[in-house]
A and B are shown apart, each in its own frame.
Chain A
Amino acid sequence: MSATDTETAAPGSAARGMAIASAIGRFALIAVTTYLGLLAVTFFIGRIIPIDPVLAVLGDRANADVIERTRRAMGLDLPLIEQFYVYVKSALAGDFGVSVLTTNPVMDDIKRVFPATIELATVGTLIGTLVGVPLGVLAAVKRGSLIDQIVRVIGLVGYSVPIFWLGLLGLVLFYARLQWVAYPGRLDVVYQYTFTSPTGFYLLDSAWQGQWDVFRDALRHIILPAALLGYFSLAYISRMTRSFMLNEMAQEYIVAVRAKGLSETRVIWAHALRNAAVPLVTVIALSYAGLLEGSVLTETVFSWPGIGLYITDSLQNADMNAVLGGTIVIGSVFIAINLLSDLLYQVLDPRTKTQ
């Protein structure tokens, strides 16, 4: 049962460990330089934009003395390079300063809003993957058929229709008309003050605490925005699956396993998809990372208190500490997911282990 053409002799576990360790080392190096670049770019963009950061703190009406004093207190009177030095120093210590808008330390804010985005992105990616991969496989297998066309249209719509509009449409249909889902935010007002969420993941926490009515309510709130995000990642994932599958189906080993008399189902799902799964992991990971950045529009439409909404609001209010902190955290997550997907690549594709 074990025959695929990629099967090679299992290398020693020590060698594999080395390979993974060096991959991690390489990535750490890339990560550090990327962080520094990210830090520099966001910082200087934040200072170059023609917006007076004091406005964010004081509003439009403060008098000249108050403005001058605040400017000094914010360190904005220092030379730019010195400001950057101060910023990097505190950022390395994990201190991104205090958000003007919320008056909390930026790190605390992010800890508060990020779980909401992670929860949404996870459910969204789950939906996107579970529907997108089979659709893509189907489209590849029945290439040129009606199903292929339908999948193509679904993908096209997913790519080209503004999520904002689709979100509203979904709300009108499933919330306002059919009343299948709940809105706005993550929970109904009734539960807001009877339920505490230690981790910030409402689904997990409510299930853990056995509060099934809260769980159901949280589910009703998350399902529509998650399905929407899922649809958009589905569009991408199904297209990629299709093309990876077409690629695999044209390989000689497929002819070989067919010749061995395996059922077509096994040929497709156990052999072709297994090999297509390797690059697919990267695709799914990237799409997940994309969703984690916070879907600004989705979060706005659904009043979802996640990081996308947080950063947009901060940006609109010229709250640079929050924007910089948020950007760096998201950058870190993006880099981490890339690293993870590359490691997973090594696990899934035996060839990369020996190299």
Chain B
Amino acid sequence: MMMEKIAPRSRFWLAGAALSALLVAGVPLGAYAATPADTLVEGFAIDDIISMDPAEAFEISTAEVTGNTYSLLVRLDLADTSKVKGDLAESWTISDDGLTYTFKLRPGVKFASGNPLTAADVAWSFERAVKLDKSPAFILTQFGLTPDNVTEKAKATDDATFVFTVDKPYAPSFVLNCLSATVGAVVDKKLVSEHLKAMTPSDDYKYDNDFGNEWLKTHSAGSGVFTLREWRANEAVVMDRNDNYYGEKAKLARVIYRHMKESSGQRLALVAGDIDVARNLGPNDLDAIAKNEDIVTTSAPKGTVYYISLNQKNKDLAKPEVRQAFKYLIDYDAIGATLIKGIGEIHQTFLPKGVLGELDENPYKLDVAKAKELLEKAGLKDGFSVTMDVRNTQPVTGIAESFQQTAGQAGVKIEIIPGDGKQTLTKYRARNHDIYIGQWGQDYFDPNSNAQTFASNPDNADTGKVATLAWRNAWDIPELSKQTEAALLEKDSAKRAEMYRNLQKEVLDTGPFAIIFQQIEVAGIRKNLKGFKLGPSFDTNFVGQISKD
């Protein structure tokens, strides 16, 4: 009886042993796995994607996908990013009162689905973005569009003419720059209409369908150079070539973004040839691949700046001398040479490079003596203690530690409170911090995006509805807010640029923000790749022109 019991188990062990032998023997001495010749494979951390619907998407990786799968009326002119050029719009005119923009569409354009693209599609795309009212909708609604008037203010007068009416005589550069944001992507009305989800109208949502929002979360309905084939959350995004694209067709048939979080893993896969491009390489891995003959790197400054901000609710931090002293307590040189090497460059003004009105001035250097002098003037000769909320990722942790150390030299004791990103952000948005280290990416490629957040605070009350960064740090600046507002209405681009330069000087001088660096996006690419280029923004990281040898 015992025998009978032992026997089946022995068989199990035996089977197991055999299987493990198979596991070992079955593993071949594999050759390098090259990616298929017609497919581009990128290693990319894509866990920020929430939705592929251009009316909803506002994330970095999504911008790249929608930028390649949709066309817009106008796009940034990559040759001079302070201007735009026509994409679907062949030409446009602006009325003398500066309120009406009339766009003539390129004839004969088709969506990826084969449906003809008309001005009615453009109007409907604006309508659904405004009515859905998701995160990026404000880029359109800031021109006075409301759910009630959007069909009047953004309408097709014939198949090839789209008329857009704004509520104030804004600077044309402002209006056009905003229309180059992905929220203005033109969606295939006919295709999406087949996938509407019925909704029950309520106080919060007044319409009987979802404008295809749910379907578009995982599908594309555009006329870009690619179409979205599949998005598997935290695994991959796959795009196929759009053979109906109006311009030059994509050279490769397919692009795959593989979700890879780790810089070191991306580096290994890049070297082995399992991916063609590595998108999230840290400074160490960039160094390591610099010597590899099969790999080159390419980079482009992006519209994100990193800054340390001082909450003006804190009495010590509210003193003008303290604000300025802190700007002298950051070791910019050391940070630039180590912590952000290859992924950022020192930049102390709030407009990133490449934007209209950029100001390339970095007057601050680490100067402990000067900072001490300023602190003494503020009556804080012996320093003081203060907390700093830091989310636990690099490079901000490293920068915070560096700052903690240099500030200590002037007697300022900084207690770092580490936290998860969402956690520190929640505290920051509630204005409960002392010092916060954060980053700000522009919402659209126009100086107003950053000017508004750094230099405008219309209502500094705790109940204030416009939660700009100036508001989050309780910086009450009625005068600067007015100037920011005025810059929006300046028709002359050169004068407008000058106004932003003045705003930047003011913030640089007196603001509670010590802006440290502008992000550079770097990619490691295999040498057989031709035409890979990073754009000035994430929605201009185009992949259509890429080919392989």
The answer to whether A binds B is: yes
- Residues of A that sit less than 8 Å from B by CB: 1-2, 4, 7, 10, 49-52, 55-66, 69, 72-73, 99-104, 109, 123, 126-127, 129-130, 168, 171-172, 175-176, 178-185, 188-190, 192-193, 216, 219-220, 223, 270, 274, 300-303, 305, 309-310, 313, 316-318
Nearest-neighbour CB distance to chain A for B451, whole angstroms, equals 15
Q: Which of B31-39, B91-99, B300-308 contacts A (4 or more CB under 8 A)?
A: B31-39
Give me 16 A-to-B residue pairs in the complex whose CB atoms sit less than 8 angstroms apart, sorted by A's number: A51-B420, A55-B429, A58-B134, A60-B429, A66-B133, A103-B217, A109-B233, A181-B30, A188-B33, A216-B26, A220-B27, A303-B260, A303-B265, A310-B234, A317-B47, A318-B422
Contact of B35 with A189 in the complex, beta carbons under 8 Å: yes
**Cβ of B59 < 8 Å from any Cβ of A?**
yes
- The answer, among B16, B19, B27, B272, for a CB contact under 8 Å with A183, is B272
**Cβ of B2 < 8 Å from any Cβ of A?**
yes
- Measured CB to CB, the nearest residue on chain A to B421 is A316
- The answer, among A63, A100, A188, for a CB contact under 8 Å with B465, is A63
Query: In the complex the two chains form, what is the Cα distance from A323 to B185 in whole Å?
Result: 33
Contact of A126 with B19 in the complex, beta carbons under 8 Å: yes
Known: A55-B422, A59-B50, A72-B204. A168 touches B260 (CB 8 A): no
Most central of B19, B136, B274 by chain A CB within 10 Å: B274
- The answer, among A49, A57, A59, A179, for a CB contact under 8 Å with B32, is A179
Query: In the complex the two chains form, what is the Cα distance from A70 to B269 in whole Å?
Result: 40
Contact of A130 with B17 in the complex, beta carbons under 8 Å: yes
- Interfacial chain B residues near A179, Cβ < 8 Å: 29-32, 272
**Cβ of B157 < 8 Å from any Cβ of A?**
no
Query: In the complex the two chains form, what is the Cα distance from A127 to B28 in whole Å?
Result: 19
- The answer, among A59, A172, A182, for a CB contact under 8 Å with B135, is A59
Contact of A103 with B3 in the complex, beta carbons under 8 Å: no
Query: In the complex the two chains form, what is the Cα distance from A179 to B465 in whole Å?
Result: 57
Nearest-neighbour CB distance to chain B for A330, whole angstroms, equals 17
Known: A103-B217, A183-B274, A190-B36. A1 touches B17 (CB 8 A): no
Contact of B26 with A219 in the complex, beta carbons under 8 Å: yes
Query: In the complex the two chains form, what is the Cα distance from A31 to B259 in whole Å?
Result: 36
Contact of B420 with A316 in the complex, beta carbons under 8 Å: yes
Query: In the complex the two chains form, what is the Cα distance from A104 to B232 in whole Å?
Result: 10
Contact of A180 with B30 in the complex, beta carbons under 8 Å: yes
- Interfacial chain B residues near A65, Cβ < 8 Å: 465
- Residues of B that sit less than 8 Å from A by CB: 1-3, 6, 13, 16-17, 19-20, 23, 26-33, 35-36, 39, 41, 43, 47-48, 50-51, 58-59, 133-138, 204, 214, 217-218, 232-236, 238, 256, 258-262, 264-265, 268-269, 271-272, 274-275, 420-423, 425-427, 429, 443, 465-467
Contact of B272 with A175 in the complex, beta carbons under 8 Å: yes
Contact of A303 with B259 in the complex, beta carbons under 8 Å: yes
Query: In the complex the two chains form, what is the Cα distance from A126 to B12 in whole Å?
Result: 11
- The answer, among A66, A305, A310, for a CB contact under 8 Å with B134, is A66
- Measured CB to CB, the nearest residue on chain A to B266 is A184
- Measured CB to CB, the nearest residue on chain A to B449 is A61
Contact of A216 with B28 in the complex, beta carbons under 8 Å: yes
Contact of B262 with A2 in the complex, beta carbons under 8 Å: no
Most central of A56, A109, A219 by chain B CB within 10 Å: A219
Contact of B135 with A184 in the complex, beta carbons under 8 Å: no
Contact of B135 with A2 in the complex, beta carbons under 8 Å: no
- Measured CB to CB, the nearest residue on chain A to B272 is A176
- Measured CB to CB, the nearest residue on chain B to A274 is B6
- Measured CB to CB, the nearest residue on chain A to B2 is A2
Contact of A313 with B234 in the complex, beta carbons under 8 Å: yes
The 4 A-B residue pairs with the shortest CB-CB distance, nearest first, are: A102-B233, A2-B2, A318-B422, A51-B422
Query: In the complex the two chains form, what is the Cα distance from A50 to B59 in whole Å?
Result: 23
- Measured CB to CB, the nearest residue on chain B to A174 is B27
- Interfacial chain B residues near A57, Cβ < 8 Å: 50
- Measured CB to CB, the nearest residue on chain B to A133 is B13
Nearest-neighbour CB distance to chain A for B126, whole angstroms, equals 18
- The answer, among A4, A51, A103, A184, for a CB contact under 8 Å with B51, is A103
- Measured CB to CB, the nearest residue on chain A to B135 is A62
Query: In the complex the two chains form, what is the Cα distance from A344 to B535 in whole Å?
Result: 61
Query: In the complex the two chains form, what is the Cα distance from A101 to B46 in whole Å?
Result: 11
Most central of A59, A69, A188, A313 by chain B CB within 10 Å: A59
- Measured CB to CB, the nearest residue on chain A to B440 is A60
Contact of A300 with B261 in the complex, beta carbons under 8 Å: yes
Contact of A317 with B422 in the complex, beta carbons under 8 Å: yes
- Interfacial chain A residues near B3, Cβ < 8 Å: 1-2
- Interfacial chain A residues near B235, Cβ < 8 Å: 185, 305
Query: In the complex the two chains form, what is the Cα distance from A66 to B274 in whole Å?
Result: 42
- Measured CB to CB, the nearest residue on chain B to A176 is B268
- Interfacial chain B residues near A101, Cβ < 8 Å: 47, 50, 233-234
Known: A180-B27, A184-B43, A309-B234. A55 touches B426 (CB 8 A): yes
- Measured CB to CB, the nearest residue on chain A to B16 is A130
- Interfacial chain A residues near B134, Cβ < 8 Å: 58, 62, 66
- The answer, among A10, A73, A181, A301, for a CB contact under 8 Å with B27, is A181
Query: In the complex the two chains form, what is the Cα distance from A188 to B256 in whole Å?
Result: 12
- The answer, among A100, A172, A182, A184, for a CB contact under 8 Å with B260, is A184
Contact of B427 with A313 in the complex, beta carbons under 8 Å: no
- Known A102-B233, A303-B265; 13 more pairs at CB < 8 Å: A2-B2, A55-B425, A61-B136, A66-B135, A66-B137, A101-B233, A126-B19, A171-B268, A189-B35, A216-B26, A303-B260, A316-B422, A317-B48
- Interfacial chain B residues near A104, Cβ < 8 Å: 233
- The answer, among B35, B214, B274, B429, for a CB contact under 8 Å with A184, is B274
- Interfacial chain B residues near A216, Cβ < 8 Å: 26, 28
Contact of B204 with A51 in the complex, beta carbons under 8 Å: no
- Interfacial chain B residues near A301, Cβ < 8 Å: 262, 265
Query: In the complex the two chains form, what is the Cα distance from A175 to B17 in whole Å?
Result: 25
Known: A59-B59, A300-B262. A126 touches B233 (CB 8 A): no
Contact of B268 with A313 in the complex, beta carbons under 8 Å: no
Contact of B268 with A100 in the complex, beta carbons under 8 Å: no
Contact of B6 with A270 in the complex, beta carbons under 8 Å: yes
- Measured CB to CB, the nearest residue on chain A to B139 is A61
Query: In the complex the two chains form, what is the Cα distance from A172 to B29 in whole Å?
Result: 15
Nearest-neighbour CB distance to chain B for A253, whole angstroms, equals 14
Query: In the complex the two chains form, what is the Cα distance from A212 to B270 in whole Å?
Result: 26
Contact of B233 with A189 in the complex, beta carbons under 8 Å: no
- Interfacial chain A residues near B35, Cβ < 8 Å: 189
Contact of B28 with A220 in the complex, beta carbons under 8 Å: yes
Contact of B135 with A223 in the complex, beta carbons under 8 Å: no
- Measured CB to CB, the nearest residue on chain A to B21 is A130
